[in-house]
A and B are shown apart, each in its own frame.
Chain A
Amino acid sequence: MTIEFLVASAIGVLTAAGIYLILRFRTFPVILGTSFLSYAVNIYLFSTGRLIVGAPPVLQGYGDYTYTDPLPQALVLTAIVIGFGMTAVVLMIALAAYLSGGHDKIDMQDDDASEDRA
């Protein structure tokens, strides 16, 4: 079993789980789904610099060394930080919507809104 297969299947499984969850009816599974998707994209970004095992992420002089591309690792770091912050924000807003509206359904209850106004 190669590292490529492991990484690719991890991305695939996480994405599939994420997409299944974001199609759910209530906010909590949907937010979990976005988290799964962001894990998937982090691993995906990590693999975009090619998968090289056991090599440093820096060059050592100009010699003919094997190295792994450091940029995707930096991108993943940025993506993790942003994804973390975003998840916190969406949790807060979803919680506020739940407490204020009394339900955690993801879709707008269109008819209720117009009746309220009338």
Chain B
Amino acid sequence: MSHWIITPILLPTLLGAFIVLSVRHQVALQRVFSLVGLSLLLINALGLFVYAQSGDIWVYELGAWPAPFGIVIMLDRLSALMVLLTAVLAMCVMLYAIGSDWDKRGKHFHALFQFQLMGVIGAFMTGDAFNLFVFFEILLIASYGLMTFGGGTRRLQAGTQYVIYNLLGSTLFLFALGTLYNVTGTLNMADMAARIAVLEPEHTALLRVGVVMALMVFAVKAAILPLHFWLPESYAAGPAPVAALFAIMTKVGAYAILRMFTLAFPQDSPAIAGSYDVWLLPVIVISLAVGMIGILGAKSLSKMVAYAAIGSVGTLLIAIALFTPEATAAAIYYVVHSTLATAALFLIVDLIVSRRPQWQDTIREDRPMPQNGLVAAFYFAAAIAMAGMPPLSGFLGKLLILDAAVGNWWLWGAILITSLIAIMGFGRAGSLVFWKGYGLPETDAPAYEHPRQPLAFVAIGALMAGIVAMTVLAGPMHRFAIATAEQLYDTDAYISAVINNTMEESMAHEKDGSGHAPVDEHLLQTEGGEHGTDHPQEATDGHAGESH
């Protein structure tokens, strides 16, 4: 049995531990190991992506414990795409962090970065709801370190808010998981879906509470209004490469909504209908509006990009919350674009901050900075992509979303008007920062010198190349997105992949009489371990019987 599915999680874990233990004092060596590790991760993710093209769902049981009692790692098209996107983004951000010497401003940047990747990739691949919580915690713990990386009062204060907000989110997640476990008796997502599908609609009050609590947790992650308050300040105050990497963090929330709510909590299921479908879209539209108006109202560039991230996730979530295959395909196209564009903008703002010693990221005129033309070109290209103007992929993504929302005039209005506001905001900020400076009276102060940082530009160029590739290859990308959406809505295939796998495994176990693997699911080590497995086995058979 092949183990390549688990290596994207294991590689950053082991590499992070190795970096912090062995090379914590040598930044040069850390960079080498980071880059080699990220290259391997990229190759691994590409391999998984190619595998997922076949449409098979790969189920990997940790420690060979049969699902739904052990934890499963799942790979389908959506997971493979998100893992690949994470690997590409991480590579570009790491190149930028090295090129701009950000990683030298504190300790353990590379180790934290690897642990962050472990959490994000794990969250994208797990098929177990409690394991999703654990990976959320891993990515959060690493993000606390990264968010306050380099120190400074403002960053630490914003970090405190960020940590406390996410701590509350985690607590709520536990409440949600407890409630869901109480109702369904399982934590495996596929098994939960199968059980919810046969629940009597009269006895689902607790289930609905659990579903809405889970939705709120993912809304905190995805920064949906009114649970977005943590985002602007922490992203604006955090180190720029970290904020760029966190472009994927809001997508973890969006991914979790997409995964859980197409699989286990579909809005037309009689057990759940009416619990969230009424209010979800309006709330998302408001959060889209707040994000885009925030672009226009922001006083500093980093705040502006943070609000752009909220608005961009809002656009993405409109497509997700329609819960139709066409809209989901649009969302899958848009999620890649949105991640790359947000990350590129955060990095470009950092270029500006480091080249304007006096005003930094305040939006006002200043003398032209070093490399003004090049930075401006990058800024406007990324802003065009983010705002959704032609010709870049933001336009195509929004077009797909509008196409999927035909008939909902208020969604059309919201997306088009907020796009206009975003264009105005980006245009105003860009012309003030880059162009107004040429009209200022000459001073006799010497021109500000700044290193050229070619690697940093290469990193941003790679992100922009990704956006251009998304535009040029929009046809194949969209076909892939449609296939992904179809796979997502074919929940029977996902559920039977888990359960059939379990049956084959248990038959194989009976045949060769091999014992159970010694790895336990939740750190549970009791003397009754052997007895404990009897109960799952019995229940597995019973459950498999039900589903036939």
* Partner among B137, B141, B148, B171 whose Cβ is within 8 Å of the Cβ of A34: B171
Given A41-B171, A41-B174, check contact A75 B159 (CB 8 Å): no
Cα distance A94–B11 in the bound complex, in angstroms: 32
B 277-301 binary contact with A (CB < 8 Å = 1; else 0)? 0000000000000000000000100
Query: Does any Cβ of B come within 8 Å of A96's Cβ?
Result: yes
Query: Does any Cβ of A come within 8 Å of B178's Cβ?
Result: yes
| In the complex, chain B residues whose CB is within 8 Å of the CB of A22 | 164, 168
A93 touches B144 (CB 8 A): yes
| In the complex, chain A residues whose CB is within 8 Å of the CB of B159 | 93, 97
B161 touches A60 (CB 8 A): no
A57 touches B523 (CB 8 A): no
Cα distance A97–B151 in the bound complex, in angstroms: 9
Query: Does any Cβ of A come within 8 Å of B338's Cβ?
Result: no
Given A86-B141, A96-B148, check contact A34 B182 (CB 8 Å): no
A108 touches B233 (CB 8 A): yes
A100 touches B534 (CB 8 A): no
Query: Does any Cβ of A come within 8 Å of B134's Cβ?
Result: yes
Query: Does any Cβ of A come within 8 Å of B522's Cβ?
Result: yes
| In the complex, chain B residues whose CB is within 8 Å of the CB of A107 | 161
In this complex, how many residues of chain B approach chain A with their Cβ under 8 Å: the count is 47
A78 touches B522 (CB 8 A): yes
B144 touches A75 (CB 8 A): no
Cα distance A85–B138 in the bound complex, in angstroms: 11
Compute the total of residue contacts between A and B using a CB distance below 8 Å.
134
A78 touches B157 (CB 8 A): no
B534 touches A62 (CB 8 A): yes
Cα distance A108–B177 in the bound complex, in angstroms: 32
Given A41-B171, A59-B532, A86-B141, check contact A34 B152 (CB 8 Å): no
* Partner among B152, B524, B535 whose Cβ is within 8 Å of the Cβ of A59: B535
A41 touches B175 (CB 8 A): yes
Query: Does any Cβ of A come within 8 Å of B167's Cβ?
Result: yes
B 528-540 binary contact with A (CB < 8 Å = 1; else 0)? 1001101100100
Query: Does any Cβ of A come within 8 Å of B246's Cβ?
Result: no
Query: Does any Cβ of B come within 8 Å of A70's Cβ?
Result: yes
Which residues 68-97 in A have Cβ within 8 Å of B in the complex? 70-75, 77-79, 81-83, 85-87, 89-90, 93-94, 96-97
Cα distance A29–B289 in the bound complex, in angstroms: 34
| Closest chain A CB from B131 CB (angstroms) | 10
* Residues of B that sit less than 8 Å from A by CB: 130, 134, 137, 140-141, 144, 148, 151-154, 156-161, 163-164, 167-168, 170-171, 174-175, 177-179, 181-182, 187, 233, 299, 359-360, 362, 521-524, 526, 528, 531-532, 534-535, 538
Of all A-B residue pairs in the complex, the 3 with the closest CB atoms, nearest first, are A58-B528, A74-B522, A97-B156
Residue contacts A-B, CB under 8 angstroms, 12 given:
A38-B171, A45-B178, A59-B534, A74-B521, A77-B524, A81-B523, A86-B137, A89-B141, A94-B163, A97-B156, A100-B156, A108-B157
